[in-house]
Structure 1
Amino acid sequence: MGFGELGFDSPAIDRAGGRIQLSANDLKAKVDAFNTELQSYGQPWGSDDVGMLIGMCYQAIYEIAMECFQENIAELSEYGNSVRVMAATYRESEDLSAIEVNRVRDILG
């Protein structure tokens, strides 16, 4: 690539997007395993008045945390998808540029 030229490695960008999506899937699996472990403990704080207050606080925190995890995983996966779309767009642009350059070359002889 010469001075002033701009190039993209579309396959590398596509692989990076795939790895981002894989990371999102791995994170989802870890959150699911963590959630399963949490559920296995039941309600260890008891059922008296203090235990009920602890349980209410725990439930609120748990729901917020799980919602944050799920939203972040979905965003991460979407970023990976967007990177893959970007790679496809670069690849299409390069292909179209090559066609146009060849067309001009054919016209000029």
Structure 2
Amino acid sequence: MFMLMCNIMMAIMIAMTMMIMCSLISKVSKKDREKMSPFECGFDPKSSARTPFSIQFFLIAVLFLIFDIEIAIMLPIILTMKWSVTKTWTFTIISFIIILVMGLYHEWNNGVLEWAK
């Protein structure tokens, strides 16, 4: 029992020593604010996280994702052309493109793609 208690105390002491050493070593100086600032996104991380953003930018990003996924779906379909029936393959591709163009037309008609009003 005494050996178990000694092992537990030793483990606790090692863990506490490591935590104290890590907290002492990892102190960030205030001089390095420019060095620690994010340089890629351009947003200040110290400001409020609830600042408004442009809804047009968000909608354009969603459109980009939709058309990016479209290309990821279309490439394997093109590769399967030689193994499938030509009429079925053509109907699938044309219906897929028509659905995407109708969605794009709907968003264009609603003014989603207008930046300045």
Largest Rg, 1 or 2? 2
Q: What's the TM-score, normalizing by structure 1?
A: 0.43
Q: What's the TM-score, normalizing by structure 2?
A: 0.41
Higher relative contact order at CA 8 Å, sep ≥6: structure 1 or structure 2? Answer: 1
